[in-house]
């Protein structure tokens, strides 16, 4: 009979334990990522695609906006994505450059197709802690505040370092491009469409300024941040500079939005970027004149001039501006 000494059993035990540890580590390396992938695939196939409704948007406290990006980042890391990264990879063909439709300062915009066939615009933010508050602001405003003239947020993703916002897709792009077309791409917007854009924008801004306890000030109104849907209904976008104010609808900040709105109105009337009131009436877009709309045009010129008064106190509130343009619009409808 073989006689194994103590040292043999000791060596055997050490060998046994270390190989067991080795096998476990190897299994963890291969099995865990695989299991995670399987889980995200399962999420992908089982997740129901729908517009995120206001109750699903995470309730981020306003106090978050006073914190630094690092702290905002920690809060965002704990959120549950409403759309998985895997799902968005599939929708954008793994963020294929061929699907890029715009380059923003904070990230790239992709046109994407969800598994239910609907198109969306997917904004994947560049990896930077600097954009955490901007990301949170979009969720806090358009995630919760639905309005026909604000761009709709369909979902968001915060998996690992990914910060992705999913918006409804706007087939007619941004208003700015109609007034600053690339060569050979000029497309004249007819008067009633311009008036519809003015009305919708005034409605959206007045909603932000006047319809909840907190006044939301956009602070970045320009034709670059106005997107147009298939029917040229305007949607205000880009809330990354917005501020929340309690109460006062006539604050100087609110009047900054009114001024910027006036500049967009002038762009709609003149077809150019213009901020000088004096020469303004001489440069009305010639393609609009003498087609039966001259009176409507001069009414809108007056509204625009009120909005761009030098003194903020002399500018009207957004609600008054909206009411004025609505009156003009309703007048046109009965004319038809």
Residue list, annotated binding site for ATP = 123
Range in contact with ligand ATP (rule: CB under 6 A) among 17-25, 49-57, 99-107, 250-258? 99-107
CB of 261 to ligand ATP, least distance (A): 17
Contact between 109 and ligand ATP by CB under 6 A: the answer reads yes
CB of 155 to ligand ATP, least distance (A): 13
Q: Which is nearer to ligand ATP, 47 or 238 (CB)?
A: 238
Which residue blocks in 155-251 are alpha helix, DSSP H?
A: 176-179, 191-210
Q: Which is nearer to ligand ATP, 226 or 325 (CB)?
A: 226
Q: Which helix (H) or strand (E) holds 157?
A: strand 153-157
CB of 26 to ligand ATP, least distance (A): 44
Contact between 181 and ligand ATP by CB under 6 A: the answer reads no
Given candidates 224, 233, 306, 320, which one binds ligand ATP under the rule CB under 6 A?
224
Given candidates 124, 144, 163, 174, which one binds ligand ATP under the rule CB under 6 A?
174
Taking CB under 6 A as the criterion, which residues in 131-170 touch ligand ATP? 151, 167, 169-170
How many whole angstroms separate alpha carbon 204 and alpha carbon 209? 9
Q: Which is nearer to ligand ATP, 225 or 315 (CB)?
A: 225
Report the candidate in 244, 266, 229 with the shortest Cα–Cα distance to residue 144: 244
Q: Which helix (H) or strand (E) holds 112?
A: strand 107-113
Contact between 106 and ligand ATP by CB under 6 A: the answer reads yes
How many whole angstroms separate alpha carbon 107 and alpha carbon 246? 31
Cα dihedral angle (27, 30, 31, 37), rounded to 10 degrees? 170
Given candidates 15, 22, 68, 173, which one binds ligand ATP under the rule CB under 6 A?
173
Task: Quote the crossing angle between the two packed helices 252-270 and 191-210, to the nearest 10°.
Answer: 170
State both tokens at 212. Answer: 């909840």
Taking CB under 6 A as the criterion, which residues in 231-260 touch ligand ATP? 237-238, 240
**Residue 173 — left, alpha, or beta (φ > 0 → left; ψ -120 to 50 → alpha)?**
left
CB of 147 to ligand ATP, least distance (A): 15
DSSP letters spanning 256-267 = HHHHHHHHHHHH
CB of 183 to ligand ATP, least distance (A): 18
How many whole angstroms separate alpha carbon 116 and alpha carbon 292? 45
How many whole angstroms separate alpha carbon 116 and alpha carbon 5? 70
CB of 82 to ligand ATP, least distance (A): 17
CB of 225 to ligand ATP, least distance (A): 6
Q: Measured between alpha carbons, how far is residue 108 from residues 95, 97, 155, 197 in Å?
A: 9, 9, 16, 26
User: Hunting for tokens 């993703």 — which residue is that?
Assistant: 157
Contact between 227 and ligand ATP by CB under 6 A: the answer reads yes
Given candidates 15, 68, 102, 181, which one binds ligand ATP under the rule CB under 6 A?
102
- Residue nearest ligand ATP by beta-carbon distance: 102
Contact between 274 and ligand ATP by CB under 6 A: the answer reads no
Contact residues toward ligand ATP (CB under 6 A) are: 101-102, 104-107, 109, 121, 123, 151, 167, 169-170, 173-174, 224-225, 227, 237-238, 240
């Amino acid at each position: 009979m073989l006689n194994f000494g103590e040292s043999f059993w000791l060596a055997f035990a050490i060998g046994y334990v270390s190989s067991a540890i080795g096998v476990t580590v190897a299994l963890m390396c291969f099995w865990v990522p695989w299991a995670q992938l399987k889980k995200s695939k399962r999420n992908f196939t089982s997740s129901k695609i729908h517009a995120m409704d206001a109750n699903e948007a995470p309730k981020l406290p306003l106090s978050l906006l006073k914190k630094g990006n690092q702290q905002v980042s920690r809060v965002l890391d704990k959120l549950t994505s409403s759309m998985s990264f895997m799902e968005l990879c599939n929708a954008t063909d793994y963020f294929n450059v061929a699907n890029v439709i715009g380059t923003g300062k904070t990230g790239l915009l992709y046109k994407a197709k969800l598994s239910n066939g609907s198109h969306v615009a997917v904004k994947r933010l560049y990896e930077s802690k600097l954009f955490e508050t901007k990301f949170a602001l979009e969720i806090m405003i358009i995630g919760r505040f639905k309005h026909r003239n604000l761009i709709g947020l369909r979902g968001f993703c915060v998996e690992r370092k990914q910060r992705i916002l999913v918006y409804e897709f706007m087939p007619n792009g941004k208003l700015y491009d109609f007034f600053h077309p690339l060569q050979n791409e000029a497309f004249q917007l007819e008067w009633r469409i311009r008036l519809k854009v003015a009305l919708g924008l005034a409605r959206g801004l007045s909603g932000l300024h006047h319809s909840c306890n907190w006044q939301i000030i956009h602070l970045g109104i320009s034709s670059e941040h106005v997107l147009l849907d298939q029917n040229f209904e305007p949607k205000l976008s880009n809330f990354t500079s917005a501020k929340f104010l309690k109460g006062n609808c006539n604050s100087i900040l609110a009047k900054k939005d009114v001024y910027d709105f006036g500049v967009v109105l002038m762009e709609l009337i003149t077809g150019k970027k213009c901020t000088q009131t004096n020469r303004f009436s001489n440069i009305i877009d010639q393609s609009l004149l003498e087609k039966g709309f001259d009176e409507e045009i001069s009414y809108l010129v007056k509204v625009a001039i009120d909005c761009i008064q030098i003194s903020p106190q002399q500018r009207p509130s957004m609600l008054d501006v909206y009411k004025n343009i609505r009156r003009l619009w309703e007048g046109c409808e009965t004319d038809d």
